[in-house]
Amino acid sequence: MSGDLSSTTRTKLHRLRERGSTDRADLYAVLDAGLVCHLGVVIDGSPVVLPTGYGRIGETLYLHGSSANRSLLSADGQQVCVTVTLLDGLVCARAVFHHSMNYRSAVIFGQARLVTADDERLAALHAVTEQLAPGQWAYARLPTRKELAATAVLALPLAEASVKGRSGGPKDDDEDYQTDIWAGVLPAALTFGAAEPDAKLTEGIEVPEHIRRLAGTTRGAAR
Amino acid sequence: MSGDLSSTTRTKLHRLRERGSTDRADLYAVLDAGLVCHLGVVIDGSPVVLPTGYGRIGETLYLHGSSANRSLLSADGQQVCVTVTLLDGLVCARAVFHHSMNYRSAVIFGQARLVTADDERLAALHAVTEQLAPGQWAYARLPTRKELAATAVLALPLAEASVKGRSGGPKDDDEDYQTDIWAGVLPAALTFGAAEPDAKLTEGIEVPEHIRRLAGTTRGAAR
């Protein structure tokens, strides 16, 4: 399925309408580029926002945590909000007031469902692992039945969402363009360093190629 | 004031207790290193999680947005949750199950207050601007009275919070250390590129030193 996501009261952006997008491809691009999402749940009437890993299979987002994570478990059957934010740069304008950030963000609303079927949980873990470090599912030891049981996976349909973002240079007031104040963008991106082997690694085991080649690259940088 | 933050039901971590910290210095370290926070509010009974810029003055966190941002405005007098997450690396274990992330995160709970006094709003904007790009407050044109009025600032006391994190290498099961699977950490950090001048910049205006020196540096990298 492609095309617009459903627009509801929650996803109708009340400001900066020109920055809004409800295109499913844009949503997937943001989600697929991120590493961490922020899960919002309501507990005893108050909001709780927690960072967690995630993965996507088609039109479903899977969030991953320990089966002892009460916030994750408490979300089962509840309305949640999951937000993924990619920071692309600092926008330095001539005026303090016009300073901004370049970013892309996806905000997803929906009813979360705790995944109980082993095959769906395994598929979800696959997606979560590959989102984190592509190639590791085929490379590392796969989960045992016991490990699967100790993993909590939350599913969220990608049906109600909004995508926002800002790119490009600063927008200043007309009169400020005459000043001698510098203005521009300082690009920012999550960048990987060189892999650091575990201190307990058996001598002679090389960094696998799919990990080695990430060193010096950025994750989810704006195109 | 220094020392432990108050521990409440919400900040009592229900898992990974050894990763919890209630030390105020740790909280400030995470907050001062971040660029974006995620604000959680409850609107019509459902959670909404939005990314926004912020700054800190002593024991108060200030969040910044447009005065047309309804989610920000709706938080006035309400219980909110603000989370700042710094990703430090991907932890690749020998087993898929033990894959993890190195990170630091701060989760703050409290009642938000919309700042209405002009002097507090100006001080808050100072903190927010300097959090984003240190040096810009002294360098760029300061807000006019009209610009101040068009800015919404939310204050949150830093009284109820928890700090969590993970660092170091993977923890695998005993039997997996005998395998020939590589394990280690792929470090990650937000890295700045070279400043990109605004297309409309008057010729001859140089990048100021406080911006130029950020190129190639990382923001809030783990010590």
Q: Measured between beta carbons, which residues in chain A are less than 8 angstroms from residue B82?
A: 49
* Interchain proximity B181–A141, CB inside 8 Å: yes
Q: Which of B80, B129, B199 sits opposite A99 (nearest CB)?
A: B129
| Cα torsion B22, B26, B28, B34: sign | negative
Contacts of B144 in chain A (CB under 8 A): 97
Amino acid identity of A138?
A
Higher pLDDT, B22 or B13: B22
Query: Which of A111, A121, A186 is the mutation pick for testing B, counting most B CBs within 10 A?
Result: A186
Q: Do A177 and B200 touch (CB under 8 A)?
A: yes
* pLDDT > 70? residue B48: yes
Q: What is the percent of chain A where pLDDT is above 90?
A: 81
- Identify which of B96, B179, B201 has the shortest CB distance to residue A183: B201
Q: In terms of CA atoms, which chain B residue is nearest residue A200?
A: B177
ipTM, interface predicted TM-score of the complex: 0.92
Name which of B41, B97, B182 is nearest A147 (Cβ-Cβ): B97
Residue of A nearest to B36 (CA): A87
Report CA B30 to chain centroid distance, whole Å.
7
Q: Is the dihedral of CA A166, A170, A172, A174 positive or negative?
A: negative
Provide the pLDDT confidence category of residue B202 given band limits of 50, 70 and 90: very high
Residue B5: pLDDT band with limits 50, 70, 90? low
What is the value of pTM for the model shown?
Answer: 0.92
- Pick the residue from chain A with its C-alpha nearest to B78: A46
At residue B27, does pLDDT exceed 50?
A: yes
Give the model's pLDDT for residue A75.
Answer: 94
CB contact under 8 A, B15 and A144: no
Tens digits of per-residue pLDDT, A27-76? 999 999 999 999 999 999 999 999 999 999 999 999 997 777 788 888 99
| Minimum distance, in Å, between the CA of residue B208 and any CA atom of chain A | 7
> Left if phi > 0, otherwise alpha if psi is -120 to 50, otherwise beta: which for B8?
beta
How does residue B13 score in pLDDT terms, banded at 50, 70 and 90? Answer: very low
Residue B14, pLDDT > 50, answer no
- CB contact under 8 Å between B184 and A207, yes or no, is yes
Each residue's pLDDT tens digit, B189-200: 999 999 999 999
- pLDDT at residue B37 in the model: 97
User: pLDDT value at position A1?
Assistant: 35
B122 versus B20: the higher-pLDDT residue is B122
- In this structure, are residues A154 and A112 in contact, taking their beta carbons and an 8 Å threshold? yes
The two three-digit tokens of residue A189, written as one number: 């991106």
Question: Domains along chain B?
Answer: 17-189 (2.30.110.10)
Instruction: Kindly tell me if the per-residue pLDDT of B7 is higher than 80.
Output: no
Among B8, B42, B52, B92, the residue to mutate for chain A (most A Cβ within 10 A): B92
Q: Is the dihedral of CA B170, B176, B177, B180 positive or negative?
A: negative
Residue A3 Cα, gap to closest chain B Cα (Å): 24
User: B60-87, pLDDT tens digit by residue?
Assistant: 999 997 777 788 888 999 999 999 999 9
Q: What is the pLDDT of residue B11?
A: 58
Query: pLDDT tier at B121 (50, 70, 90 boundaries)?
Result: very high
The shortest CB-CB distance from A190 to any of B15, B190, B193 is to B190
Q: Where are the alpha helices (DSSP H) in chain B?
A: 24-33, 70-74, 118-132, 136-139, 145-149, 209-212
Q: How far apart are CA B203 and CA B39, in angstroms?
A: 40
Mean pLDDT of A93-105: 96
d(CA A87, CA B53): 11
At A5-30, the pLDDT tens digits run 555 656 554 333 445 565 788 999 99
Range of weakest confidence among A14-18, A186-190, B60-64, B182-186: A14-18
Of A85, A143, A192, the CB nearest to B186: A192
What would the two tokens of residue A162 be? 């909004």
CA distance B53 to A99: 11
Q: What is the DSSP letter of B97?
A: G
- Give the gap in angstroms from C-alpha A45 to the nearest C-alpha of chain B: 8
**Interchain pair A198, B46: CB under 8 A:** no
